[in-house]
């Protein structure tokens, strides 16, 4: 939140100062002077190609790395926050940090759907999906034979589709209840070997057949689903389940629903909206990724600032005579400062654009995976380079350019005219 407001502040400063600068350049005498000095500087950039490219490439590197790392945090957060909605609620045993850790006995599983406030389907049945969440070891794609990864396996009934309308089969068919059949999320299919319709995979000592692939565009994509009863059998869970996900008749009545359930002396459960549940799961990890992005970006930015300082000092030194001449014929200090600053910021802007573009080309949609908090399987997610992130990258570039240009600009303006003219 703090970072967000900081960014807004920076954006406001950037936009405001651009506007003021444009007005000043157009309307005042000094502004017009600054414009012409800048024009000269920019037109001679080609002679200082080596140095200018150091600034551009240095800043492009910072922005590319920063944007890529932030895109990782954003992609992760987005995948989890898209999972779940405000109109469905998840009921778990009290004090369970996640579904895997929760156990609801058979009585609770039958009792929960009878609570008031749950939407009814066409047949008048409450839309409530008792689900079992376990993990399965499966061979990873592209790994050695012994390389097994963990995937989250969800045992579901027909109601699971009703509480998640965004879930679609994209290949094959749904599993047949009572059979050892699995359907797999497309993220899981991408990561684990043999998750294609028609293939058989081993879970422990049993063979299961993959019959279909589903897509939901959220964290469910990383899961594998089977019939709840059969999964419970394989994992010796009897008639217990991990959670019950329900569709609320009225999302606004969530608090009442929660209060009713928690007040029920026969139950010891925690209730949250699925939106809340999944957002909370992403909190720690995405903050962590954002911090890493900012730390790495800052260290690189320090390097880039000094690189830019170095290059601009050299540029100013190379143009010392030219600048002194301008000052001798009546140009003021301020236009010179502005011109040097503008030149640096222009190079920085170019670097920022290149870096952002590079990050976008290479990493937008790039799929990554990690063991997510609160889940027992690999969560696959896509890096997402949004317009907002590109803007953050540009702001960083401009800040680096500003600091890197400021001191050389001041030196250029302060240089005694006579000394500078004599210098060869």
Q: DSSP 3-state assignment of 233?
A: helix
The reply to whether 65 sits near other proteins by the rule CB under 8 A is yes
The residue from 25, 127, 136, 336 that contacts other proteins (CB under 8 A) is 136
Instruction: Give the per-residue contact string, 91-130, with other proteins (x = CB under 8 A; - = no).
Output: --xxxxxx-xx-x---------------------------
C-alpha 265 chain-centroid distance: 42
User: Which stretch in 78-86, 155-163, 203-211, 332-340 sits in contact with other proteins by CB under 8 A?
Assistant: 203-211
Q: How many residues bind other proteins (CB under 8 A)?
A: 59
Report how far Cα 97 is from the mean position of its chain's Cα atoms: 23
Q: List the beta strands (DSSP E) in 71-189.
A: 88-93, 128-139, 148-156, 168-172, 181-185
Using the contact rule CB under 8 A, the part of the chain among 20-28, 148-156, 169-177, 392-400 near other proteins is 148-156
Determine whether 379 is exposed, middle or buried from the number of CB atoms within 10 Å of its CB (0-12, 13-18, 19+).
Answer: buried
Ramachandran class of 25: left when φ > 0, alpha when ψ lies in -120 to 50, beta otherwise:
alpha
**Does residue 58 touch other proteins according to CB under 8 A?**
yes
Does position 398 interact with other proteins (CB under 8 A)? The reply is: no
Q: Which residue of 376, 389, 403, 409 would you call a contact of other proteins, by CB under 8 A?
A: 376
Binding mask 162-191 toward other proteins (x if CB under 8 A, else -) reads ------------------------------
User: What Å distances lie between residue 201 and 136, 150, 187, CA to CA?
Assistant: 11, 14, 17
Q: Which of 270, 223, 207 is nearest to 79 (CA)?
A: 223
Distance of closest approach, residue 202 Cβ to other proteins, in angstroms: 9
Segment contacting other proteins by CB under 8 A, of 33-41, 49-57, 115-123, 257-265 = 49-57
Applying CB under 8 A, which of residues 83, 378, 383, 405 lies at the interface with other proteins? 378
Beta pairing, strands 223-227 & 148-156: parallel
Cα angle 101, 246, 184 (rounded to 5 degrees) comes to 65
Nearer to other proteins, 163 or 350 (CB): 350
Residue 375 sits in the site that holds other proteins (CB under 8 A): no
Q: Which is nearer to other proteins, 54 or 182 (CB)?
A: 54
| Residues of span 248-287 touching other proteins by CB under 8 A | 268, 280, 284
Binding mask 204-233 for other proteins (x = CB under 8 A): xx----------------------------
Give which of 45, 22, 19, 49 is closest to 35, Cα–Cα. Answer: 22
Q: Does 311 participate in binding other proteins (rule CB under 8 A)? A: yes
Instruction: Say whether residue 370 binds other proteins (CB under 8 A).
Output: yes
Region binding other proteins by CB under 8 A among candidate stretches 59-67, 211-219, 333-341, 393-401? 59-67
Angstrom distance (rounded) from CA 363 to CA 228: 37
Our CB check for other proteins shows the closer of 231 and 323 to be 231
Cα 270 to chain centroid, rounded: 29
- Of 409, 421, 402, give the one whose Cα is nearest residue 37: 409
Q: Is 70 in the site for other proteins (CB under 8 A)?
A: no
Regarding 291 and contact with other proteins (CB under 8 A), the answer is no
Quote the Cα angle for 43-46-52, to 5°. 105
- DSSP-derived letter for residue 250 is -
The tally of CA atoms less than 13 A away on the side-chain side of residue 184 is 24
Instruction: CB nearer to other proteins: give 30 or 272.
Output: 272
CA distance 94 to 341: 60
**Residues found near other proteins in the complex (CB under 8 A):** 50-51, 53-54, 57-58, 61-62, 64-65, 68-69, 93-98, 100-101, 103, 134-137, 146-150, 153, 203-205, 234-236, 268, 280, 284, 296, 299-300, 302-304, 306-307, 309-311, 313-314, 368-371, 376, 378
């Amino acid at each position: 939140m703090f970072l967000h407001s900081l960014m807004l502040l920076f954006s406001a400063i950037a936009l405001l100062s651009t506007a003021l600068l444009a007005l000043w350049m157009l309307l005042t005498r000094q502004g017009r002077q600054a414009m012409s000095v800048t024009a000269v500087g920019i037109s001679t950039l080609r002679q200082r190609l080596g140095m200018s490219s150091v600034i551009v490439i240095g800043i492009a590197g910072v922005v590319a790395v920063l944007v890529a790392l932030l895109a990782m945090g954003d992609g992760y957060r987005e995948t989890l926050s898209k999972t779940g909605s405000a109109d469905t609620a998840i009921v778990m045993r009290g004090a369970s940090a996640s579904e895997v850790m929760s156990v609801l006995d058979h009585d609770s599983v039958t009792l929960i759907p009878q609570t008031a406030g749950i939407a009814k389907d066409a047949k008048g049945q409450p839309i409530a999906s008792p689900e079992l969440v376990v993990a399965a070891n499966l061979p990873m794609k592209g790994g050695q034979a012994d390389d097994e990864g963990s995937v989250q396996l969800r045992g579901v009934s027909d109601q699971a589709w009703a509480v998640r309308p965004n879930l679609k089969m994209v290949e094959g068919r749904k599993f047949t209840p009572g059979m050892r059949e699995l359907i797999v999320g497309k993220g899981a299919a991408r990561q684990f070997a043999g998750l294609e319709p028609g293939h058989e995979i081993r879970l422990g000592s049993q063979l299961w057949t993959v019959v279909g692939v589903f897509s939901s565009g959220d964290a469910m994509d990383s899961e594998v689903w089977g019939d709840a009863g059969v999964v419970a059998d394989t994992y010796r869970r009897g008639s217990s389940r991990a959670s019950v996900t329900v569709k609320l008749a009225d999302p606004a009545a969530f608090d009442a629903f929660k209060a009713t359930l928690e007040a029920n002396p026969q139950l010891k459960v925690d209730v949250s909206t699925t939106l809340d549940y999944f957002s909370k799961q992403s909190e720690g990890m995405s903050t962590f990724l954002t911090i890493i992005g900012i730390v790495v970006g800052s260290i690189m930015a320090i390097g880039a600032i000094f690189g830019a300082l170095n290059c601009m000092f050299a540029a100013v030194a190379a143009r010392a005579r030219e600048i002194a001449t301008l000052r001798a014929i009546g140009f003021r200090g301020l236009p010179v400062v502005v011109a040097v600053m503008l030149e640096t910021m222009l190079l920085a802007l170019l670097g920022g654009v290149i870096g952002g573009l590079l990050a976008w080309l290479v990493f937008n949609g790039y799929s990554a995976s990690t063991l997510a908090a609160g889940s027992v399987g690999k969560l696959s997610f896509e890096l997402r380079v949004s317009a907002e992130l590109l803007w953050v990258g540009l702001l960083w570039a401009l800040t680096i350019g500003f600091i890197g240009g400021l001191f050389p600009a001041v030196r250029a303006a302060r240089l005694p005219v006579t000394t500078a003219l004599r210098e060869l």
